[in-house]
Amino acid sequence: MAMERARELASGSRLLSPPNPWVGAVILDAMTGAIIAEGRTQAPGGNHAEIEALVRAGDAARGATLVVTMEPCSHNGRTGPCVEAIINAGITRVVVAVGDPDSHVAGRGLARLREANIELITDVSTDEVREDLAPYLHHRSTGRPYVVAKVAATLDGAVAMADGSSKWITSEDARYDGHILRAESQAIIVGAGTVRSDDPTLTARLRDATYEPRRIVLGGVSKSAKVQPCEEFEGPLDQLLDRLGAEGVLQVLVEGGPSVVSSFVEAGLVQRIVWYIAPALAGLTSALPALASLESETISALRRGRFVAMKRLGEDIRLDLEV
């Protein structure tokens, strides 16, 4: 299916395109349905997915169908409007998964295509693409980054033992997946306690590259720590998110200890919890629980969400909870 291929292409730009959305585009021959050309969003200032595909298609784009994961832009930014390029290329049908809530677009791209008498098919694979683009859509709709809280714990929820030891509860496979989470985030938030006890670098070390998201420490921290450069913040968490959103941060990874993660959950600021579960038991009498400072006195007070993904990572399991 062409939209599935467009989603695959978009995923290849996930680490490249922010603060722009990661979008994929496929151009199909109108008669045979065969793929003529493909494109995905380049780094900011580079071509959008539609332009990449149109350039590769050349004259073959005339009369063809464009399948794209997000509404084409209609304004001049760092690049020109994609809708005008689509119209000028002679595309006759456009298939779109989701609209773009960005105030510069917000339906104007679709309206321009209709105005040019291009056949328009919308809401194809919408749920799947909304999931793919959740951080971007959340940011453009709320002005704040999408907040992911990461937990790595034993089966009974311990993140550290009585002596303070915590390395390594989860396997190398789970830890590598956690580095992908870091690379997908433009900022990482930890507490000063985590910095003092673990002295982490907080870089995202993947097989082909190392990424350095912004590193934010809640409270003071020694300048001799590995997590440098870092930004120190003291104040209401919602103010921090407002600031990061205004600065173009689409996704934040909260990777602090139990108190920091609990504080974000307690304040209702988390959109997703990624919980890595190791097949190990600690016993919580003396071990440190993952959400140590989160309290619910009754069943009715439980903070509930829904599981949206589960993945096996070596001997561990990753559970994604949408809060």
Q: Give the burial class of 243: count Cβ atoms within 10 A of its Cβ; 0-12 exposed, 13-18 middle, 19 or more buried.
A: middle
CA distance 27 to 302: 48
Name residues whose C-beta falls within 8 Å of residue 127's C-beta, 6 or more positions apart in sequence. Answer: none
Name residues whose C-beta falls within 8 Å of residue 104's C-beta, 6 or more positions apart in sequence. Answer: 73, 74, 75, 77
Residue ranges of E strands in 83-181: 93-98, 119-121, 146-154, 158-160
Contact 181, 203 (CB under 8 A): no
Report the candidate in 119, 9, 138 with the shortest Cα–Cα distance to residue 69: 9
CA distances from 304 to 14, 215, 230, 266, 322 (A): 29, 29, 33, 12, 9
Our CA angle for 37, 43, 44, nearest 5°, is 120
- Strand-pair partners of 147: 252
Among this protein's residues, is 8 annotated catalytic? Answer: no
Contact 273, 323 (CB under 8 A): yes
In degrees rounded to 5, what are phi and psi of residue 7?
-65, -40
CA distance 166 to 159: 6
Q: Of 8, 38, 50, 231, which one is the catalytic site residue?
A: 50
Contact 14, 133 (CB under 8 A): no
Catalytic residues: 50
